Each structure stands twice: as structure tokens, then as C-alpha cells.
Chains A and B, each alone.
Chain A
Amino acid sequence: MVSTPRERKWQMVVDVDRCTGCQACVVACQAENNIPFNSESHFKQGRTFSWIRIERYWEGEFPDVKARFLPFLCQHCDNAPCEPVCPVFATYHNNEGLNVQVYNRCVGTRFCQNNCPYHARFFNYWEPVWPVQMRNSLNPDVTVRGRGIMEKCTFCVQRIRRAELDAKRQEREVRDGDFQPACAQACPTSALVFGDVKDPQSRIHEGLANKRRFRLREELGTEPNVVYLSKVDSEAKEAAGHA
């Protein structure tokens, strides 16, 4: 394992007011993380993979209709409900605040997904198959998961590790902006900002200090590491019941 010279804690800020629901992050994550193709049957059987997904909520009816987009990904909860229920320690917390999934240990009980309040985990119901030619574009840094196991957003840990290796080669610390997770890199509106909160230089502090800040289901005490900035809407009804 790569030794970590400085303590790190990775977090992401999701500015809902910037997000247009464009799905760039979704494809970027699929491309980066060797996520199996979502075939028609995946949709029809309700088994679509989307480590990051955009939930769209309708509000009202024509002509006073609104749609709201909410990006969801693993919240990398500091107090993750998925972790204690896994019988084989296939999912645990590392010392950088990441909720880690060890594919090799997972036996596929799906207990963790049941207990994830954010619905962030995806079960491989089938052996993933790629047309032979398309295997060329698989990312060699990321394991292809076999059938029968859980997977979920890793905060693109392979990119973190690469950045660490590069920094080490150059004999320096990892700097903010050395890398971004695939979703944040693609996101054309810059709705996603990723960073190390232990790094005072990190751009993430800007978002963390924002007044619109909230976290999903804070009342559960899961201590998510994904922080949201709420949507702004001059016509909205009084926002109900959230911190």
C-alpha cells in the first residue's frame, strides 16, 4: 500500500444549483470505472448501474411544472451504515475517509445496499460482458467486477493513488487540482468539486463554507462526506424540514 505522508480526508461538494441533469458525470464514471453497460434489460429489471446518478423530481403539472435534479453518489459516510452489516468485512473505512469496497471478499449478501440510506450500491446480478473490441477501452487501473458482488463509487481511488505516486516521484505532496474524479472532471457546469479538507489550499473549502450547505439525511448521523449546496429558486415554496 502507498504510505500516506499527510493525513487526508476527501470530500465532495455538489452544487445542486449548477447541475443541469446533463448526465456527463454518469457516462464519465462509467467510462472511468469499467461499469458494465446498462442494457435495455438492466433498465426493465430495475438493475441499472450508475455509481453517480441524477434523480429527477417532478413538481406540479402543466403549465406550472418544475423538474429538479439531484445527483447521488456514495456519500462515503464517516459513520457508514453499510459497513457494520457486512459479514465479511468486504466494505470498510480507510484512513482517508473513503468507504472502500474489497471486491474479492464480497460474497453478495446485499445486506450493505439494504442498509445504505442513499441507495449508493450496485449489485452485479449478471456476469458483465463487453464486446471483444470494446474491452480495449477498459481502464486497466480498475478491476472488472464479476457477477455476484457489490460495487459503488470509490471516489475514483485509482486516480487518488496515481496522483500520490506522481507526487511521490516528484518528491512533493499531492496538491489540490493534481487530479479530479472522473465525474467532477467531466461535469460541464462544475457542479461537482472534490478535494481534501485537510488541505487548507483546497478549492473545496469555498463550497464547504457556503451558506446553502446541507447534507443528505443528516438526522441519521451517518456523517456523509458529500456536502450539497441547495438549489436556489425564487418561486419555491418555503423549504420544508431540512438543515
Chain B
Amino acid sequence: MKTTRRKFLKWSGVGALGAVVFGGCTIPERELLVQSPAQLPEDLVSGLEAWYATACGQCGAGEGVIVRVIEGRAIKIEGNPDHPVSRGKSMARCQAGVQALYNPTRLAGPMKLAGPRGSGQYQEVSWEEALAEVAEALGFQAPSSVVLMTEPLRGTLGMMAQRFMAAYGGQHIAYDALEQTTLQAAMKQVFGTDQLPDVDIEHSDYVLSFAADFLSSWLTPVRYNRGYGEFRQGGEARGTLVQVESRFSMTAANADQWVYVEPGREGEVALSIAYVLMAEHAGAINPAAVNAMTDGRGAPALQAFNPASVAQTSGVSAERIREMAKALADHPHSVVIGGGSAGATTNGLFNLAAIYALNHLIGSLGRSGGIIFNPPSPVADLPATAKVGSFEECQGLAERMRGGQVKLALVHSANPVYGLPASLGFAEALGQVEKVISFSSFMDETTAFADLILPDHVYLEAWGDDIPEPGPGYQVVTFQQPVVKPFLNTQSFGDSLLKIADKLGGNVKQALPWGSMKDALKATAQKLQALNRGSVQSPSFDAFWNTVLQRGGWWDIAHKGSKPPAPLPKLPTSRMEPRFEGPAEGDAFFLVPFASHTLGDGKGANLPWLQGIPDPLTTVAWQTWVEINRRKAMEEWDIKEGDELEITGPGGAIRALAYLHPGVSEGAICIPTGQGHTQYGDYEIGPDLFRNKVGTGRGDSVFAALAAAKVEGAGALAWAANRVRFRKTGRNIRVAKFEGPVYPDFHLIEEFVPVSKPGSSL
């Protein structure tokens, strides 16, 4: 053995220390390197860094990010300061992208099932073989028996998937566990567009939000948080935020006022506000809208929603309703939005339509501080809106699968087996499908059914583009470029589609004429270049292409969305009662599920940063918890923090740890989404002696307790339409929360968190 200097140091060090300390302990090698004892090592940085702009693939918002790359490794993700939506800002989920890239459980290459389905036994195959097999399967089956399930797709890839299935003749369905189909339907009803709304929060002076948790998970939280900061302290006067919601969400926590409303009654409250606006503030609202929306009858049309009677059902006092109406009328830049649980009861569409209709009365559509829509896509066949298959469509698909009408299912980054309520039986239905082929980067509950897996790149390795939705009100295309070389034997879904099309030939090939995903993207770029307007213009394509990639996209501030000329909706004159599944009376509680701040629909559950970030309100991490009323739990139910509760819903029973929450009503319990994966790759992190799994084996999923109830008129899953019972299982498990275990029994919070009054000089 040659003795190098390092080895010498190491052994002499171990020898000397071993004599002092105890034989057998090894000293980490790092300890023995010569280090500066006088300086912070960070004082001596060196090496070159590069920043690449690309599109974010961590959630559906489609924002631009920049990635710091050093020696071929992606190190850090930040918001792209040039990008119109993120403007240099980011959130926890965006930051965690590098952990998706370097996830140890990424599927490393194409694989074929080697045992019975679900056994998890796969054998490696070559890309050539895998693609040939897909083409063969597609060629063999009747196109009508083939279905492609993807995540919601926009931009070039969305166009390709659409064209592919259109030319082939199969069904393409985009699946999203936190679907916004009810919101889209409401937009159609109220504003005549199926785009998602953007809210000009930064210029608003009064935001009335019905259950839209826009500071945490709703639509495009980075953009809304950015607006919120300005809304609070950016302008002359501090804006006022009122949150009407049946759960104390993060947005409610930041609101100036949180108004508790019984689940499913949000629409009534909105209509009651409309009533008060017409009856008491007629001068401050748009008379034309009143006329059109009530057939000229005005306030009497909404007599059924007078505050006194709505107060009885909704739990919102008549006085509060009048206050909110007055505030809407008094503030010149007020806006009303809604979403979340307000749209997830059986009458969710009624609720959202009523809520958004208020904007017509106060005239906030398209004005500063109001609601904004994107203009249409700058390139004709480039989808600017992801058409998402509603829960109803998924249910229909499951029916067809069960009936043997679906022979071949192609899945890409969609995980319906996890996200659809267990009561729908999607897993068994998928089991009936002859052949399942997955294009996912990770083993998940749906991919576990796959007979063949052709793993996708992670977005940081792939070409692509996206059109952010909701956008900033003008045309934007975010460009996505690989910031690192793929280091596994994966291939982007777009390239896989193109190669399959090659093999199929015929009209499929004609529909997808490009050689590679990059070529397809270049074709899109050429169309943008041809527009000859916007942030990047150049007569040379190379210059255009390079600049677009450098800046992370193309946008045209001048091309604003015009107010869609749609007839104003009629306001309903009678109530639509919400219906709830599960036990009706007695000891039943409303179940209010909510999207986890970090894990989202569960996609983030395999990333340690997202698992290890405390929930903003409860500070719980790594676990599924259930929020129950603190006072009742202590005084009547005899439940302590960490008591495991079995929650029996109409769809099944799940377990969760009790968190005594001062902000939960006595009649409801709240459970976050995101945990409860049974298949999401297995790996462990943590100190040697206390390692814990990431992804799987982490508590239950709230989806498993839900009934297959639908939002009437929209077909979306009514995930907030359940009543449940719970009981203690007798186990108590320490809650992994960030806050200390001691609940302070004195409440002098202002002593710790100084508060001043608006306009006061402290």
C-alpha cells in the first residue's frame, strides 16, 4: 500500500485519537483535512456558476425559474426575475425541484414487467424495444379502446398529445387531483370564458375571498403572494382582506377578518351580499348589471337571500353580511374571488357562480384591482388552457375500463389511482385494462399497474414550454430548456411520443412531423418569431431562439386580454341546498379536506424538503394530521394532541393524528392532502439511528375517506361534501411538529409579536 500524505494523516490521526478516545471509533475523514481555524470557509468562494432560465414543472402554474448550475449540477432554483408571473419570486415547492431531479427513486430506464402485475418485478429493456412495444400495442388495439391519461398539459406538449390522440383516434384525458373544472365552469357561466381568472391583488384595496386559499395552494400562489405583499404595504393605503371560509386556512390566517361559514353556504352569503348591495348601496354599483342580472327586478329578486334568513343557515351574521357589502361598495378597487371548498360541495358551481357574479355588480372585471383574463394563445393551435377531465369523466373512464372497453392505457405523470376517492374503485378498474404503459419519472400508485415503463425526464432535463395559467393578463409563453444533462437512461415524454408516431407512421406521423421535442419547440418559436412583436423580436431565428431561451420565454405586454363580450349571467332567485354524503345527524362532522401547502395533491411527498417543511399553521411535518376544535377536544372529547383518530367517511376509514386547533369550528374537522402514498419509491433519510422513509408509509390519504359525490353541473369531485365520524384508536403518537410541545397558557401575544394599528405611528 502506498502511503499518501492524506492516508498518513488519517492513520496517525486515528491512532493518536484512538488512544485518547475509544478504540474502534472512526473519525470522519473530513475532520483530518487541514482547515482554516480562523475564517469562515464561506469567505473563500471560487468556481464558476451559470444561471439558466427554464420553466417550472413542480406545480401547474407554469412559471419561469432560473437554475444555478455548477459543474453540470443543478444547485439552486430561483424565480426568474424577468418572468411576468414569478418576477424573481418562488415558493417552497418551486425550490424543491432539484430534489425531484436528484431523487434516488427516479426510474432509471425503460422497464418491462417481469412478474405478475403489481409485483414490482421489472426487467430492463432498451428504448428501441420499449418504443417498438408501445407502437405494436397501439397498432394492435382498436384506437377507440386506447386512452392516454396525462397531467394537465398546455403549450407544445399539450398540442402534441392532443394531435397524437386525435390522429390516432383514442381518448386523451388530462387528470388533476385538485381539478379546477368547477371554477372553469363558473368562469364560463359568469364571464363566458373557460380560462382561470387572475386577480390584480396588488392594486386592490379590498379583497373578499370565499375559500380561495390563494396564499397557499390556489392556482398560482407565487403570483398571488407577490401581489399580497404589495397589497399590504406596497401602495398608499393598506388593503383589506376578508376571507369567508369554513376552514381557518393560511389565507384566513393572514386576512384582516376571517368569517366562518357553514360548508356549502358560500353562494348564499354572496347572494345576500348582492341583495344588500342592490338594496342599500344601489348608487355605488353598476345599475346596468343589476338590471341584466335580475331581469330588471333589482333587490326584490333576491329576497330569498335577505341577510336575516341567510344568517340562519350560513352562520354568518346579518351584520357581517351588511359590513362586507358596504366595504365592497365603499372601496373603489374591491374584488371578489372564490374557490377551494366553496366550489367543492355539491352546489359548488352555484356557489362560485354567485360569488364571481358580484364582480359584475361592483364592476371589477378588467379594472385595476379586479379580475383579469388572459388573451387567447399567441399561436393558434398552442393550448393556453389545460382542458382537464372532470371527476365525472374519470368515473366514466373507470366504467369503461371495468366493462373491458379499454384495452390499452397510456399514463404520463397522472396518478388517478392515488388521487381519486377510493370509493370510485379506479384501481380495480385499471386492473381490468389489458395493458398499461406508463411514462412517469417515478414509481407511483398508477405506474405500479404498468406492464411497461418508459420513464420521462424530470423537467430540468427536458425541452418544453408552457403558457402560465392564470397569466398576467397578456400573452406569455414560458420556455423550458434542459439545464443539466440527463444522467439516467430516460427520455422526455415528448420525444417518446414523436418516436412512437414515427413507428406508427400514417396520419399520426403527419400530425407530428417533428424529429424531436426540441424541433417541435423550435417550430413553436418560429411561429412566435413570425409574430414580430413582444419581448423578443429578431429577424434571425438563431438570435430569437437564443434570446428566448436566455430570458426564459416570450411575452407581449401590449397584447392584453380583452374583456370577453359575454351576456351577463342571471342571478339565481332561490337557494340550492348543499347535499352531504355520510351520516346526517348526531355526532357527525363536516370533513373539510385541504390541499397541503407543500405536498399539494401528493406529488411533493417524495421530496424531503417539502415533507420536512412545517405546515404554516399547525407546524406539523411528515404526518397526516386532523385539525379539531381545541376547546371541545380538551373539555368534552378528552382528546390530546397526537391521539390517533380513526375517521370514518362515506368512502372509507382513515387514521390521522389529532391536532388541537383553535381555529376549527366545533362541527368540522380538517385534514390535509398529500400523504398516504403506498407506492412512491422507497428511500430513507435522517440520522443513522433514526432514519425515516420518504414518500410512502407516511400516514393516510384523505382521498380514501371521500364519497364519489359530484358538483352538480360541473361534474367535478365534491371533495368537501362529506360528513364523517371519528373515534380514538387509543394510540398516541408524538406529533412531528416544529412548534415546541408546550402550549403557552398565557395569551399576551402582542408582547411577542408587536402589532400596530393602520396609520398609527407606533
Interface of chain B residues 218 through 232 with chain A (CB within 8 A): 221-222, 225-226, 228-230, 232
**Do A188 and B42 contact each other (CB < 8 Å), given the known contacts A56-B619, A134-B104, A240-B750?**
no
Q: State the CA gap A165–B48 with chains docked (Å).
A: 11
Contact in complex: A233, B74 (CB < 8 Å): no
* Closest A residue by C-beta to B215: A20
Interface size on B, residues (CB 8 A): 112
CB neighbours (8 Å) of B753 from chain A are 16, 57, 68, 70, 231
Which listed segment binds A: B85-93, B549-557, B719-727?
Answer: B85-93
Contact in complex: A186, B757 (CB < 8 Å): no
Cβ of B216 under 8 Å from chain A: yes
Q: State the CA gap A154–B39 with chains docked (Å).
A: 13
Cβ of A170 under 8 Å from chain B: no
Contact in complex: B37, A40 (CB < 8 Å): no
Cβ of A209 under 8 Å from chain B: no
| A 19-32 binary contact with B (CB < 8 Å = 1; else 0) | 01111101110111
Majority SS at the chain A contact face: loop
Cβ of A113 under 8 Å from chain B: no
Contact in complex: A23, B598 (CB < 8 Å): yes
CB neighbours (8 Å) of B629 from chain A are 62
Q: State the CA gap A50–B614 with chains docked (Å).
A: 10
Contact in complex: A62, B664 (CB < 8 Å): yes
**Do A188 and B45 contact each other (CB < 8 Å), given the known contacts A157-B40, A214-B762, A235-B256?**
no
Cβ of B621 under 8 Å from chain A: yes
| A 173-204 binary contact with B (CB < 8 Å = 1; else 0) | 00000000010011111110000000000000
Cβ of A44 under 8 Å from chain B: yes
Contact in complex: B751, A240 (CB < 8 Å): yes
Contact in complex: B757, A137 (CB < 8 Å): no
Cβ of A236 under 8 Å from chain B: yes
CB neighbours (8 Å) of B610 from chain A are 27
**Do A67 and B102 contact each other (CB < 8 Å), given the known contacts A58-B662, A104-B35, A146-B30?**
no
Cβ of A75 under 8 Å from chain B: no
Cβ of A87 under 8 Å from chain B: no
CB neighbours (8 Å) of B256 from chain A are 233-235
* Closest B residue by C-beta to A50: B738
Cβ of A101 under 8 Å from chain B: yes
CB neighbours (8 Å) of A121 from chain B are none
Contact in complex: A140, B47 (CB < 8 Å): yes
CB neighbours (8 Å) of B284 from chain A are none
Cβ of B739 under 8 Å from chain A: yes
CB neighbours (8 Å) of B662 from chain A are 58, 60-62, 65
Q: How far is the CB of B169 from chain A (nearest CB, A)?
A: 40
Contact in complex: B40, A39 (CB < 8 Å): no
CB neighbours (8 Å) of B758 from chain A are 232, 234
**Do A233 and B232 contact each other (CB < 8 Å), given the known contacts A24-B90, A129-B687?**
no
Contact in complex: B42, A158 (CB < 8 Å): yes
**Do A182 and B750 contact each other (CB < 8 Å), given the known contacts A28-B90, A41-B690?**
no
| B 734-762 binary contact with A (CB < 8 Å = 1; else 0) | 10111111000001111111111110011
**Do A230 and B686 contact each other (CB < 8 Å), given the known contacts A24-B92, A188-B222, A190-B229?**
no
**Do A234 and B757 contact each other (CB < 8 Å), given the known contacts A127-B687, A154-B40?**
yes
Contact in complex: A62, B250 (CB < 8 Å): no
Cβ of A59 under 8 Å from chain B: yes
Cβ of B73 under 8 Å from chain A: yes
Interface centre among A26, A157, A241 (most CB of B within 10 A): A26
Q: How far is the CB of B65 from chain A (nearest CB, A)?
A: 11
Q: State the CA gap A105–B762 with chains docked (Å).
A: 43
Q: Which of B99, B230, B663, B685 contacts A39 (CB 8 A)?
A: B685
Contact in complex: B78, A186 (CB < 8 Å): yes
Q: State the CA gap A105–B35 with chains docked (Å).
A: 9
CB neighbours (8 Å) of B574 from chain A are none
Q: How far is the CB of A97 from chain B (nearest CB, A)?
A: 14
Q: Which of B79, B688, B692, B755 contacts A236 (CB 8 A)?
A: B755
Q: Which of A15, A39, A43, A161 contacts B738 (CB 8 A)?
A: A43
Cβ of B507 under 8 Å from chain A: no
Cβ of B248 under 8 Å from chain A: yes
Cβ of B28 under 8 Å from chain A: yes
**Do A42 and B739 contact each other (CB < 8 Å), given the known contacts A103-B41, A129-B685, A233-B757?**
no
CB neighbours (8 Å) of A236 from chain B are 750, 755-757
| B 610-638 binary contact with A (CB < 8 Å = 1; else 0) | 10111011010111000001110000000
Contact in complex: A127, B688 (CB < 8 Å): yes
Cβ of A122 under 8 Å from chain B: no
Interface of chain A residues 142 through 175 with chain B (CB within 8 A): 142-143, 146, 154, 157-158, 161-162, 165
* Closest A residue by C-beta to B106: A133
Interface of chain B residues 51 through 91 with chain A (CB within 8 A): 70-71, 73-79, 88-91
Q: State the CA gap A241–B222 with chains docked (Å).
A: 35
CB neighbours (8 Å) of A188 from chain B are 79, 89-91, 221-222, 225-226, 229
* Closest B residue by C-beta to A156: B42
Interface of chain B residues 94 through 114 with chain A (CB within 8 A): 94-96, 98-99, 101-104, 106
Q: How far is the CB of B40 from chain A (nearest CB, A)?
A: 5
Cβ of B258 under 8 Å from chain A: yes
Q: State the CA gap A138–B89 with chains docked (Å).
A: 21
Cβ of A5 under 8 Å from chain B: no
Q: Which of B49, B687, B747, B750 contacts A125 (CB 8 A)?
A: B687
Q: How far is the CB of A23 from chain B (nearest CB, A)?
A: 5
Cβ of A228 under 8 Å from chain B: yes
Cβ of A242 under 8 Å from chain B: yes
CB neighbours (8 Å) of A15 from chain B are 232-233
Contact in complex: A56, B739 (CB < 8 Å): yes
Q: State the CA gap A70–B734 with chains docked (Å).
A: 25
**Do A131 and B104 contact each other (CB < 8 Å), given the known contacts A27-B92, A42-B686?**
yes
Q: State the CA gap A65–B255 with chains docked (Å).
A: 11
Q: State the CA gap A165–B42 with chains docked (Å).
A: 13
CB neighbours (8 Å) of B106 from chain A are 133
Cβ of B541 under 8 Å from chain A: no
Q: State the CA gap A27–B79 with chains docked (Å).
A: 13
Q: State the CA gap A162–B48 with chains docked (Å).
A: 10
Contact in complex: A187, B101 (CB < 8 Å): no
CB neighbours (8 Å) of B41 from chain A are 103-104, 143
Cβ of A6 under 8 Å from chain B: no
Contact in complex: A140, B70 (CB < 8 Å): yes
Interface of chain A residues 39 through 88 with chain B (CB within 8 A): 39-46, 48, 50, 53-63, 65-70
Cβ of B540 under 8 Å from chain A: no
Cβ of A220 under 8 Å from chain B: no
Q: State the CA gap A128–B118 with chains docked (Å).
A: 35
Contact in complex: A53, B738 (CB < 8 Å): yes
Q: Which of A60, A187, A235, A240 contacts B89 (CB 8 A)?
A: A187
| B 258-295 binary contact with A (CB < 8 Å = 1; else 0) | 10100000000000000000000000000000000000
CB neighbours (8 Å) of B737 from chain A are 43
Q: How far is the CB of B199 from chain A (nearest CB, A)?
A: 15
Binding site for B on A (CB under 8 A): 1-2, 15-18, 20-24, 26-28, 30-32, 37-46, 48, 50, 53-63, 65-70, 100-105, 125-127, 129-143, 146, 154, 157-158, 161-162, 165, 182, 185-191, 211-214, 228-242
29 contacts across the A-B interface (CB closer than 8 A): A22-B597, A22-B616, A23-B92, A23-B616, A39-B622, A40-B686, A41-B690, A42-B686, A43-B621, A43-B737, A50-B738, A54-B616, A59-B747, A62-B662, A68-B749, A126-B688, A137-B73, A138-B75, A141-B45, A146-B30, A154-B40, A157-B40, A165-B45, A188-B90, A188-B222, A189-B226, A189-B229, A239-B755, A240-B750
Q: A16-B753, A56-B739 are in contact. List 7 more A-B contacts (CB 8 A).
A: A31-B76, A40-B690, A56-B616, A214-B754, A232-B756, A239-B750, A240-B750
Binding site for A on B (CB under 8 A): 28, 30-31, 35-45, 47, 49, 70-71, 73-79, 88-92, 94-96, 98-99, 101-104, 106, 215-216, 221-222, 225-226, 228-230, 232-233, 238, 248, 250, 253-254, 256-258, 260, 597-598, 608-610, 612-614, 616-617, 619, 621-623, 629-631, 662-666, 683, 685-692, 734, 736-741, 747-758, 761-762
